[in-house]
Structure 1
Amino acid sequence: MTPTSCVFCGLLAGHGEASWVARRDGALALLPLAEGRLSPARTVVLPNAHAAGFHDSSAESLQAVVLLAQEVARAMEKCIGARGVNILSASGPDSDQSVPHLHLHVIPRRKGDGLDTWPSTVTSHPLEDAWHSAVRAAMTS
Structure 2
Amino acid sequence: MQKENCIFCKIANHEIPSHKVFENEEVLAFLDLSQVTKGHTLVIPKQHADNIYDLSSESAQAVFATVPEISRAIQQETGAAGMNLLSNTGKVAGQSVSHFHLHLIPRHDKHDGFGAKWEVHNEEYTADELATIAESIKNRL
Query: TM-score normalised to the size of structure 2?
Result: 0.80
The residue type equivalent to 1:71 in the other structure is: E
Structure 2, unmatched stretches of 5+, are 122-127
Equivalent position of 1:87 in the other structure: 85
Query: RMSD in angstroms over aligned alpha carbons?
Result: 2.4
Once the two structures are superposed, what CA deviation does each residue of 1:70-122 show, in whole Å capped at 9, x if it has no partner? 21111122232223100111012432201010001101112455334212556
What residue in structure 1 maps to residue 135 of structure 2? 136
Q: Which residue of 2 aligns with 1:9?
A: 9
Q: Secondary structure, in 3 states, of the residue corresponding to 1:21?
A: strand
**Residues 88-127 of structure 1 aligned to structure 2 (within 5 Å):** 88-111=86-109, 114-120=112-118
Q: In 1, Cα distance between the equivalents of 2:91 and 2:74?
A: 31
113-122 or 67-76: which moved more? 113-122
Relative to structure 1, the CA distance from residue 116 to residue 96 in structure 2 (aligned partners, 3 Å threshold; closer, same or farther) is closer
Higher mean C-alpha displacement, 48-57 vs 87-96: 87-96
Kindly tell me the number of residue pairs found equivalent between the two proteins: 133
Percent of aligned positions with the same letter in both sequences? 32
TM-score of the two chains, using structure 1 as the length reference: 0.80
Q: Contact (CA 8 Å) 1:86, 1:117: kept in 2 or not?
A: no
Give structure 1 stretches of 5+ with no counterpart.
Answer: 124-128
Task: Quickly say closer, same or farther: Cα 1:39–1:26, change in 2 above 3 A.
Answer: same
Q: Is the 8 A contact 2:37 2:112 kept in 1?
A: no
SS of equivalent residue, structure 1 residue 28: strand
Trace 1:15-94 onto structure 2 (pairs within 5 A): 15-33=15-33, 36-94=34-92
Secondary structure at the counterpart of residue 4 of structure 1: coil
